[in-house]
Amino acid sequence: MIFITLGSQKFQFNRLLKAVDELVSAGKIDGEIFAQTGYSDYKPENYAFKPFVDRDEFKNYTDKCDIFITHGGTGAIIGAVKKEKKVIAVARLAKYGEHVDDHQLQILEQFDELGLIYSCKDCSELEQALEYVKTHEFKKYESNTQTIIDDIERFINEF
């Protein structure tokens, strides 16, 4: 199953939804697909969608999916890699009215360098991305929260 999530910020991401719809229509993607479309006004014709889902639905779709397609937001990406999902992330771009700037390109570059996700530079690469993630083994996410806590405790204990 593929779960697409576009977050809850007031920006559309019609470009990604259309690209998935075109791949399904062309027979390049089969199987179950569900999209949380957010503020996008494009209505997918070839897969199920809802503008917003509650926390339980989001968790259920994330748990159920094999492939997690999302925008370049850190929250969605980290949540999915923590659950060891195969993540394809596409940056929202200002030139398409998808965000105010192109900061998501830098976010995706960092995740890509860590070997945690497939950073899709353009929707035209989506078919290639889907083929790649089916067989690629990504690195496991390792939190550094405990390291930060230990550093803070050491700092506090020195005084």
pLDDT at 153: 77
Could you tell me which of 76, 77, 67, 82 has the C-alpha nearest to residue 141? 82
% of the chain with per-residue pLDDT over 70: 95
Averaged pLDDT of the chain: 90
Q: Which backbone phi and psi does 30 adopt, to 5 degrees?
A: -130, 175
Say yes or no to pLDDT of 152 above 90.
Answer: no
**The model's pTM:** 0.86
| Domain 2-157 CATH (choose: 3.40.50.2000, 3.30.565.10, 3.40.47.10, 1.10.3210.10) | 3.40.50.2000
